[in-house]
Amino acid sequence: MSNKYYDTTDADFRKQMAKLAPEDFKAWMTLNAIPGQSHGVIPPKVREMIAIAVAHATGCPYCIESHVTKGKAVGVTKAEVAEAVLISAALCAGAAAAHGGLAMKFYGDE
């Protein structure tokens, strides 16, 4: 077993979850399939750009690889990937700043 994080073989360990918690794993797989669906009003290219941005916000390297690869296959350009990543970064920074107000609130008056 590798001692590093995010090894390419890590996905194999998900098979253990599927065996140990099959119903929950099946439910997760159903959710996991949503970005790749093509029957909604959001076209596949836009769905993948959203997925790329969210993958960066959640910090999932497996999702980043998966959705960049899928996005490229449906026509997402490298420039669009860059913009999606930076939009994600801006919103994450905005959320941190907005929640900073809560920190001030909870700290209270001096």
State how far the Cα of 102 lies from the Cα of 35, in Å rounded to an integer. 32
- Whole-number Cα distances in Å, 52 to 12, 14, 40, 64, 107: 23, 21, 18, 6, 36
0.85 exceeded by pTM: no
Number of H helices, E strands in the chain: 5, 0
State how far the Cα of 10 lies from the Cα of 36, in Å rounded to an integer. 22
Residues in the chain with pLDDT < 50? none
pLDDT digits 0-9 by tens, 66-87 = 999 999 999 999 999 999 999 9
Q: Which two tokens stand for residue 28?
A: 């997760």
Task: Please provide residue 59's backbone torsions phi and psi, each rounded to the nearest 5 degrees.
Answer: 75, 30
